[in-house]
A and B are shown apart, each in its own frame.
Chain A
Amino acid sequence: MTHATATVDLMRPPFPAEPGAGVYSNKLGMWVFLASDVMFFTALIGTYIILRFGVSEPWAKPNAVLNVPLTAFNTFLLICSSVSMVKAFAAISQGDQRGLRLWLLLTILAGAPFVSVQVVEYIKLVGHGFTPAGYREGSLLAEHAVSDAVKYGAATSGLYGSTFFTMTGFHGFHVTCGVISMTYLYLTKVLPGKYSRQDYRGIETIGLYWHFVDLVWIILFTIVYLI
């Protein structure tokens, strides 16, 4: 019997059943949950597209309001964390406990700063007068918008603030949930060495979630920060 079949068998329910999806239930459940999450982000991103292209007035140029280089670095960080997540999964599927500990820790250490940078960015934006309700009266950005209405999208700042903070905020919430879950798994399962080559369900399942969140960010970064 090869390693592969031995691995799969331990992750099956401990009783006979009809052939199902061919994957264990945690993984299947995560796939179904991600399908629902796709619909959730579709609602948010669809709203953004409809509002942005439904207005006739110009939309603000992203680099006039947002710190694009900083967020590009943040994006790089998140992509790196996806790589380290894959390395963690590859390590435990070979039974390498030390590799799992190292790579999962690196994943957490890349995910947590992503959220922190986002929080700092929010604080700065609100400080400059960019709020979910639009440019705040009397703020720096409101003054700029008076002098250059096209570049700063003076007439559409309300929609810009609404969509920007909602989409990036819910993505940040997803990242936060992921970091918390990974930290929990790290402390309760990874450090005590409870995963093995035969059973690494938690790592693979949280990995799926993490890659999904990463993918959503690449879409959001493109449509919110670049175009």
Chain B
Amino acid sequence: MTSVAATARVPHAHHDDRSFIRKYIFSTDHKIIGIQFLFVSLFFLLLGGLLAMQMRWQLGFPGKPMPGGGLLPETMAANGVILPEYYVQLVSMHGTFMVFFAIMPLLVGVYANFLIPLKIGAHDMAFASLFVPEGAIRSGWTNYAPLSARPDLSGVTTGQILWCVSIVVLGLSSVMGSVNYITTIINHRAPGMTWFRMPLSVWALFITAILAVLALPVLQGAAILLLFDQTIGTHFFDPVAGGQALLWQHLFWFFGHPEVYILILPAMGMVSDMIANGSRKPIFGYHSMVFAIIGIAFLGWLVWGHHMFMSGMNPTLGSSFMVSTLVIAVPSAVKVFNWMGTMWRGNLRFHVPMLNAVAFVAMFVIGGLSGIYMAATPVDMFIHDGYFIVAHLHYVLFGGSLFALFGAIPYWFPKMFGRMMSERWGKVHFWLTFVFYNFTFFPMHILGMAGHMRRIYDPTQYEFLKPYQPMNEFISVSAFLLFATQLIFFVNFWWSLFKGKKADLNPWQDNGLEWSLPSPAPHGNWETVPRVYRGPYEFSSPEVSDRDYLPQHEKRPTDREPASATAPAH
């Protein structure tokens, strides 16, 4: 035990003589796995965006040939005009790609793998080689039965089967990943990293992993039942043979609602880290933030029925789902107030991660408030399956999760690749995205209140929607500009990968343990286990006079060694 040296010193990078293939392709290093997730899911983000662009073309300019549409086969777009069958595929694939293959792996795959060991002071994950690669798919997001269960109704067989199989594989890999995250956080925290000294990002990823463990297997079960309905002739969701189509909705949303919190909680955690850093103040109400995460996750696990108010549900049951859903607003509001309290009278630094984090808070408020509308059964009766829902889910998923990611990617970029992303282009990207994003999604609220249905192919076929067509065109043009803006991000990302400014140890002057490592972090992380002397948000501490941050691993004369560092382990 005495051989563990003081950890204020920065350890040297380990010599790493593994081959390129061993190091980057079949790696078991948690950081490389995180980076693999990053590249794959950014690719899917781009792909999902491309699908959305085609949808927007059809909605804005129905019946007109799409630029480049001639490249598509006649079965998808006749003479460049998108066909209804292809449009439906676009809708379902956009949803599936974005939820399962872009946002979820970006948040949980990239940052859980990369950050957890770095932030809690572990060498690697508890189980380093537990990862199953995720497969590719072709159909539907909510995949309601009986349409999805009967090939003779949907006209799709192979696509549906592939969807089910890939959901089972993805579920298995996510559950295994979550087992890994939970075990690592419980058992592998460095001495002194007590539960309430953990950064909120780690707390959020921990609770998210628990939520995934308890929710994803239900989706797996449902996908397996659906697969059997399609392939070996079972009748789970087939009403003709006594099966229950609504059962699919229950099973799907029992997973599906926790899933939306799986998609936002890690973003909330990382935003808390970035806002404390950008405000140079300790996070306001740290403990209440932790309990808010736990409360949101627990409530979110129980309220799946609010997706099914229109399914003929017993109104009494509907009321209980409504009330429990509305209660989620309380812990969510606690978080929003705490973020504002953190920024209040802080010494604000508007670097790119901070800008995106503040945008997250603002957009999350809008998305959260519209969520309260649809949680109320009577209001939901009117807006159900309309564009108000589309607006809401994009405000939380794009305005929430994606803004958090646009902050998180440049924030931890130096620790991943040893270089900084360009601040100037990051700011250009941020402002353009912020403006075009609101231009794209805010009018959808109005369309929804006007009765614009979700997933329709051609809004102009309805008399009452015709006056709103200019708004649809405006949304489409904004969406194209929004997509074009993302090219700035991709160029910035790739350019910085090779040409970005070299990063030093702690470019953001942050307190987390990961910033005590060289950039990029070496294989095996620390040579000796770091020790932790305080919480993660000690900014502007009166204990230090020469700078406004006090890292978790820095020992002050008044600090005592953590008891567990000298415990008689071996």
Chain A contacts to B: CB under 8 angstroms: 9-10, 12-21, 24-25, 28-29, 32-33, 35-37, 39-40, 42-44, 47, 50-51, 54-55, 57, 131-134, 155-156, 158-159, 161-163, 165-166, 170
- The answer to whether A32 and B179 have CB atoms under 8 Å apart is yes
CB-defined contacts of B153 to chain A, threshold 8 Å: none
**Minimal Cβ-Cβ distance residue in A for B180:** A29
In the A-B complex, the 3 residue pairs with the closest CB atoms: A43-B221, A133-B233, A162-B234
CB-defined contacts of B241 to chain A, threshold 8 Å: 134, 158-159
Q: Point out the residue from B187, B190, B562, B567 that lies within 8 Å of A28, measured CB to CB.
A: B187
Q: Is B204 an interface residue (CB 8 A)?
A: no
B233 to chain A, nearest CB (A): 3
For the complex, give the distance between the alpha carbons of A40 and B244 in Å: 19
In the assembled complex, 21 residue pairs joining A and B whose CB atoms fall closer than 8 Å, in A order, are A18-B190, A18-B191, A18-B194, A25-B127, A29-B126, A29-B127, A29-B180, A32-B179, A36-B217, A39-B214, A39-B217, A40-B221, A43-B218, A47-B221, A50-B247, A51-B244, A131-B233, A133-B234, A134-B235, A166-B225, A166-B236
Chain B contacts to A: CB under 8 angstroms: 1, 4, 122-123, 126-127, 175-176, 178-180, 182-184, 186-194, 213-218, 220-222, 224-225, 228, 232-236, 238, 241-244, 247, 251, 254, 529, 562, 564-567, 569-570
**Minimal Cβ-Cβ distance residue in B for A162:** B234
**Minimal Cβ-Cβ distance residue in A for B130:** A29
- The answer to whether A39 and B218 have CB atoms under 8 Å apart is yes
CB-defined contacts of A132 to chain B, threshold 8 Å: 228, 232-234
CB-defined contacts of A28 to chain B, threshold 8 Å: 126, 182-183, 186-187
Question: A33-B179, A37-B217 are known contacts. Are A16 and B567 too (CB-CB below 8 A)?
Answer: yes
A208 to chain B, nearest CB (A): 13
CB-defined contacts of B193 to chain A, threshold 8 Å: 18
- The answer to whether A32 and B251 have CB atoms under 8 Å apart is no
B258 to chain A, nearest CB (A): 11
B516 to chain A, nearest CB (A): 16
CB-defined contacts of A32 to chain B, threshold 8 Å: 178-179, 182-183, 213
Question: A39-B214, A155-B242 are known contacts. Are A25 and B233 too (CB-CB below 8 A)?
Answer: no
Q: Point out the residue from B126, B192, B569 that lies within 8 Å of A25, measured CB to CB.
A: B126
- The answer to whether B186 and A36 have CB atoms under 8 Å apart is no
Question: A9-B570, A39-B215 are known contacts. Are A18 and B189 too (CB-CB below 8 A)?
Answer: yes
- The answer to whether B232 and A133 have CB atoms under 8 Å apart is yes
A42 to chain B, nearest CB (A): 7
- The answer to whether A51 and B183 have CB atoms under 8 Å apart is no
- The answer to whether B569 and A43 have CB atoms under 8 Å apart is no
CB-defined contacts of A54 to chain B, threshold 8 Å: 244
Question: A28-B186, A35-B214 are known contacts. Are A158 and B235 too (CB-CB below 8 A)?
Answer: yes
- The answer to whether B218 and A40 have CB atoms under 8 Å apart is yes
B219 to chain A, nearest CB (A): 8
Q: Point out the residue from A17, A156, A165 that lies within 8 Å of B187, measured CB to CB.
A: A17
CB-defined contacts of A170 to chain B, threshold 8 Å: 224
For the complex, give the distance between the alpha carbons of A14 and B567 in Å: 12
For the complex, give the distance between the alpha carbons of A132 and B1 in Å: 61
For the complex, give the distance between the alpha carbons of A13 and B567 in Å: 13
CB-defined contacts of B235 to chain A, threshold 8 Å: 133-134, 158-159, 162
For the complex, give the distance between the alpha carbons of A24 and B126 in Å: 10
CB-defined contacts of B182 to chain A, threshold 8 Å: 28-29, 32
CB-defined contacts of B186 to chain A, threshold 8 Å: 20-21, 28
